[in-house]
Amino acid sequence: MMPSSAVLVGLGKALGGSLDFLMSSQVAELSGVEFRKHSGTSAQDRAQAEALVIEKLEDYLAIEEILGLKEPDDAFAAVRCDAVRSVEEIDQKARDLRRAWQLGIDPIPSMTDLLEGKGVKVIEADLPERFDGLACDVKRTGGMADTEVVVISSRTNIERRRFNLGHELAHRIIRGTADPESLKLEKAMNRFATAFLAPADHLRQEVGDRRQGILITS
């Protein structure tokens, strides 16, 4: 909606707010957008998803501004790398991050709380059907510091949301692979998410070293 000036003036008087507040926008643009999508998405689908994210993000940033919350220091600086060469290096990066954040090897109660505590905005939105989520950098107006956002679809189940957040976390840590032909970037991100969410040491404690299979029952 684009209210007329008369309506905006009326809203300002009723709410005790200025027109600047009613018309303010903190999001200048989304950059480096990485979609987690199914095949067959169109440019219109992507534009719709980005518009929805900006709308949600404006609300998120406005609440932070009201509460006086500041951007934390870079929580990934100590473990970030330009490239990994093997799955062993990926597993080690997941262990290094858990150690740096003092997480131990137990399950993480809430990936959303963890990432938000480290400065990554997490938004759950009713994205178009063919999208699982997206991640991007957020350029802000008024000289405010840029930030990062990860968006997950409310259509997916909780297990998939946790995995998607682990995958997007991997993109914050690992920028690429040394040999993209033998080690695909997205598969590397999936490997990191698995190693971070379910550390090998914890799995061995739970199932032992000699188990040949796991029976899953409902």
* DSSP result, 112-161: HHHHHHTTEEEEEE---TTEEEEEEEEEESTTPPPEEEEEEETTS-HHHH
Q: Which residues of the chain have pLDDT under 50?
A: none
Per-residue pLDDT tens over the stretch 179-199: 999 999 999 999 999 999 999
Compute the CA torsion angle 183, 85, 180, 120 (nearest 10 deg).
90
- Residue 129 and residue 159: Cα distance in Å, rounded? 18
Per-residue pLDDT tens over the stretch 62-95: 888 888 888 778 888 888 999 999 999 999 999 9
Cβ within 8 Å of residue 190, ≥6 positions away = 163, 167, 170
What SS3 state is found at 50?
A: helix
Give the domain ranges of the chain.
23-199
